[in-house]
Amino acid sequence: MESHYQTEAEIESVVQGLESCTTGKDDFPHRKHLAVAVWYLRNSSVEQAVEKMRCSLLRFLDHHGLGREIYKEELTRAWINLVHEELERLDSNLSLVTLTNTVIERLGDLDAVFQRYPDNLALRPERK
C-alpha cells in the first residue's frame, strides 16, 4: 500500500488548509478531500462530518471565487457515506494515518462513488 501520509500532523495540516482557505484552489485534489473526510468522521458523526465538509467546501469556493454551483450536496453526502462505510470495515484501533492511507487506496478513484451508486444520476457531473 502506498503511504500518502506519514504523520497525523500532515493530515491535520490538510484539514486546516481547507478550513482556513490557505490551500490553493488547484491544490485540493480528490485524495485531500478523502483525508479531510476521514478526519471529520474520526472526530464526529456522519451528519456532523457532512455539515463540516459542506461548510469548509463552500468557504473554500467563496474564498477562491470558484462559484458555489460547483458544490453538490448529494455528491458530498455520497462520498462521506462511502468513506464511513470503509472506516466501519477497518479496525477502529488503527492510527489515523493508516486509516487515511487505506481509505485513499480504496477510494482514490473518482469513479468509486458512481460504482457504488450507479443509478443515482444526480451524482453524475453535468455534461457540457
Q: Is the pLDDT of residue 1 over 70?
A: no
Report how far residue 48's alpha carbon sits from residue 31's, in angstroms, rounded to the nearest whole number: 20
Residue that is written with C-alpha cell 488548509 in the block: 17
Name the pLDDT band for 125 (thresholds 50, 70, 90).
Answer: low
Please tell me the predicted confidence (pLDDT) of residue 117: 77
| 3-57 pLDDT tens trace | 899 999 999 999 999 999 999 999 999 999 999 999 999 999 999 999 999 999 9
- Is residue 78 in some structural domain? yes
Cα dihedral 87/29/59/72 (nearest 10): -70
Beta strand spans in the chain (E): none
- Is residue 1 in some structural domain? no
Range of the structural domain that residue 59 is part of: 8-123
Look at the chain and report how many structural domains it folds into: 1
Lowest mean pLDDT of 17-31, 33-47, 84-98, 107-121, name the range. 107-121
* Nine cell digits for residue 81: 457515506
Report how far residue 128's alpha carbon sits from residue 125's, in angstroms, rounded to the nearest whole number: 9
